[in-house]
Amino acid sequence: MRAGLHTGKRLLRSIWRGVREWCGDAAYERYLGSRAQRTATPQCTLSAEQFYVEQLNRRYSHPNRCC
């Protein structure tokens, strides 16, 4: 019984991680992880609000049309 419950929790946790990745909610955590691997200076790291604004600027700074 416990093994099934443990497997169910693991399954739900992996589904939740997948949903967060799909909708972009985990982007800031990935950014923090990559910054920690690349640099040793945490003062250069963007806050969550700054990261969000940078993502919006990057996404909408150039025209993106099909026609």
Domain ranges of the chain: 2-60
- The pLDDT of residue 33: 87
The residue behind tokens 């940078």 is 54
As a whole number of angstroms, the distance between CA 37 and CA 34 comes to 5
pLDDT at 2: 77
Give, for all 67 residues of the chain, the pLDDT tens digit.
677 778 889 999 999 989 988 888 889 988 988 887 776 666 678 898 999 999 889 888 877 677 6
- Per-residue pLDDT, 61: 85
Residue 45 confidence (pLDDT): 84
Q: Give the span between the Cα atoms of 40 and 44, in whole angstroms.
A: 9
| pTM score | 0.62
